[in-house]
Amino acid sequence: MSLAVRVPEELSARVPVEQRGPGLERDAVRMLVSRGAEVAHHTFTELPLLLRAGDLLVINTSPTLAAAVDGRTGHARVVVHFSTRGDDGRWAVELREPDGRGTTRARAGGPAGSQVCLPGGVRLVLEEPLSGRGERLWWARVSGPGIPKLLREHGRPIRYAYTERDQPLSAYQTVFALPSADGTGSAEMPSAARPFTARLVAELVSRGVQFAPVTLHTGVASAEAHEPPYPERFAVPGASARLINAARAGGGRVVAVGTTAVRAVESAAGADGAVRACAGWTDLVVTPERGVRVVDGLLTGLHEPEASHLLMLEAVAGRVAIERGYEAALQGRYLWHEFGDVHLVLR
């Protein structure tokens, strides 16, 4: 799906909302609500009023990594974006060029055998492209100290040119993030959950809204080409599967917080729509043709008009809802990207 709209540069959220004025917290963002062809404007703090007792929110507990590290290949400076750790210990990485403004731009990948020197004595050797889809991401063999230690000591959050300045890693962690035992996590923040605060979570619980945690470690986004997502590691615990199935059986709505939560829970759903405990890798791409089996709604950020994530939104709510929603978001001057406003899509 590609929308025939252009997002003006000034609608990019350049800093987190809590830095835009005194007394603001993460939940001080706007929320567009789409139900079919109907569109309504709300603030995120009104979410408890829009959900009902018995509804269930599926949330992603993956922590965000400080996944960008400066390095050198030969005499050239590069920035390595660590995307995903493979089962064999290799890492999928994207090499980018510093742009002189604290962010990066795309560069040609490879070739095989290229070496990248990183701080702390870590060395990468590029072995092969991650897939036949292109050469943006490469599997790299790692020598020297482990990557989690490297990221803790020398990494910073991945940042793109529409943001104003570097932010601490805490700005990219959601209230649901839990450290993983092996030090892995998401290359980029599962940003739909960013506006949640502990206070808002408590209010939702007090109103009878439940939460089902899942985990999906997001890889590096395709900032320029808008490629579909690559395979990602995920887990749906048995307790969460039971909560989801019980909510559906009891007439509650299952609302995924973020496209990552949709990908995880739909990957664990059978053809009958029942969710079962599941863990491993998912290559599922949710499209209108495939449809959704579990979720009744999606809370998400505002994506670029060409982004493949829009296909997932269309699968949940239909093309008319997404077109009307994005038209209203542009007219209403909503803010885009990970620090921006959010969109609640209900079937």
The residue that leads in pLDDT, 48 or 307, is: 48
Contact 312, 29 (CB under 8 A): no
Q: Please report, rounded to a whole number, the percentage of residues in the chain having pLDDT higher than 90.
A: 80
The 297-301 sheet, strands edge to edge: 38-43, 30-35, 342-346, 297-301, 254-257, 56-60, 210-216, 232-236, 278-282
pLDDT at 1 over 60: no
**Helices (runs of H) and strands (runs of E) counted in the chain:** 7, 16
Cα separation, 281 vs 4, in Å, equals 33
Residue 311: per-residue pLDDT: 87
The structure tokens listed for 143 are 């020598």
Nearest to 104 by CA among 67, 132, 141, 63: 67
What size, in residues, is the chain?
Answer: 347
Cα separation, 15 vs 194, in Å, equals 13
Contact 308, 229 (CB under 8 A): yes
pLDDT in tens, 86-107: 999 999 999 999 988 888 888 8
pLDDT in tens, 335-346: 999 999 999 999
Please, which pLDDT band fits residue 309 given cuts at 50, 70 and 90?
Answer: confident
Nearest to 276 by CA among 237, 318, 328: 237
Contact 163, 14 (CB under 8 A): yes
Cα separation, 64 vs 163, in Å, equals 17
pLDDT mean over 140-161 = 92
Residue 115: per-residue pLDDT: 96
Cα separation, 194 vs 82, in Å, equals 21
Residue 25: per-residue pLDDT: 97
Cα separation, 133 vs 228, in Å, equals 10
Ranking 29-43, 155-169, 206-220, 296-310 by mean pLDDT, the lowest is 296-310
Residue 51: per-residue pLDDT: 97
Please, what is the average pLDDT of the chain?
A: 93
pLDDT in tens, 46-87: 999 999 999 999 999 999 999 999 999 988 999 999 999 999
Pairing type for strands 210-216 and 56-60 reads parallel
pLDDT in tens, 207-259: 999 999 999 999 998 766 667 788 999 999 999 999 999 999 999 999 999 99
Residue 109: per-residue pLDDT: 78
